[in-house]
Amino acid sequence: MLKLPCPSCGAEVIFQSSASIFSVCNFCKSMLVRRDKNLEDLGKMADLLPDISPLQISTEGKYQKVNFGIVGRQILGWENGRWNEWYIFFDDGRWGWLAEAQGFYMISFRETLPVNFSNHQEFPVGRNFQFKDMAFAVEDRHEAWILSAEGELPSLSPPDKKFESIDFKGPQSEFACLQFFDEGPELYLGEYLEFDDLHFNNLRKLEGW
């Protein structure tokens, strides 16, 4: 656990995961990036948009018998709406993303990019690919952008900057996502899960629910 002062307001900024490079200051909403022992201020993050998500930072869950906690969040937008990507940190030191979209939950982990994945022109919808001995089909491609964020994050695309996101569907409940940023493409591999499969606790209190 690392604690550093916010360069804008002085408040304590906590990093629970060593993979977290970015953070949004809880108090002044400044976007901060770690540079050696200091934090650099990149500007103000847009306000979070109200929603009825049952998850929040500090919600805990369990996946594949290992406990995890939510430490950060990105709200992503696309042409047809928006969804949440919760940054989760596991007890065994791993980190991953918990996507929450229209009542669907997906957990994914960053994968090293195979050599041939560099050009997003090569992924038309319907094309099949092999990753890790599984056949994946390109299901959907769309542009996405960060609307808002909070907590600590492993990466942070500049707000409102569009990036290409390609979704792949695996043989069972697996899925993969390839995203193209200025710094290079990132590949995530994961699966769809039911709410009950994740054994959540410390959920956000929802009025009327």
Partner 1 sequence: MGSETPSSLSCMKCGAPISLRAPGLTLVIACPSCGALNDVTNPNIAFLIKANQKTPIKPLIPLGRRGKMEEILYEVIGFMRRSDASGIYTWDEYLLFNPYYGFRWLMEYKGHWIFYKMIKDNIEITPYSAIRKKVAYKRFLVGKAKVQYVLGEFYWRVQLGDTTKVYDYIAPPEILSCEEDGSEKIWSHGIYVEPKEIQAAFQTTFPLPKPIGVGACQPGLGGKSSDSFWLVFILFFILLTFVQISSSTMCRDEEVWSSNNLLLTADTDKVKTSPSFHLNQKIADVKISSHASLQNNWIYLNLDLINEDDGKIYPMGREISFYDGYDDGYWSEGSTHDEVFISSVPEGNYHLVISPEFPADLSNEIVDIKIERDAPNWTNYVIFSLLLLVGPLGLQAYKMWFESKRWQESDLPG
Instruction: State in angstroms the smallest separation of the CB of 123 from partner 1.
Output: 14
Binding partner 1 (rule: CB under 8 A), the pick from 1, 3, 52, 115 is 52
Q: How many CA atoms lie within 13 A of 74 on its CB side?
A: 24
Q: Tell me the closest approach of the beta carbon of residue 73 to partner 1, in angstroms.
A: 12
State the minimum distance, in angstroms, from the CB of residue 160 to partner 1: 14
Residue 140 to residues 74, 119, 147, 182, 206, Cα–Cα distance (Å):
20, 16, 21, 21, 32
| Residue number with CB closer to partner 1 (57 or 203) | 203
Angle ∠(115,129,158) on CA atoms, nearest 5: 60
Residue selected from 2, 12, 104, 143 as contacting partner 1 according to rule CB under 8 A: 104
CA dist list (Å): 62 to 68, 71, 91, 153, 189 = 6, 14, 10, 20, 18
Residue type, position 196, single letter: D
**Least distance from partner 1 to the Cβ atom of residue 57, Å:** 16
Q: Binding to partner 1 by residue 206, rule CB under 8 A?
A: yes
User: What are the residues binding partner 1 (CB under 8 A)?
Assistant: 49-54, 80-82, 102-104, 125, 140, 169-173, 175, 192, 195, 203, 206, 209
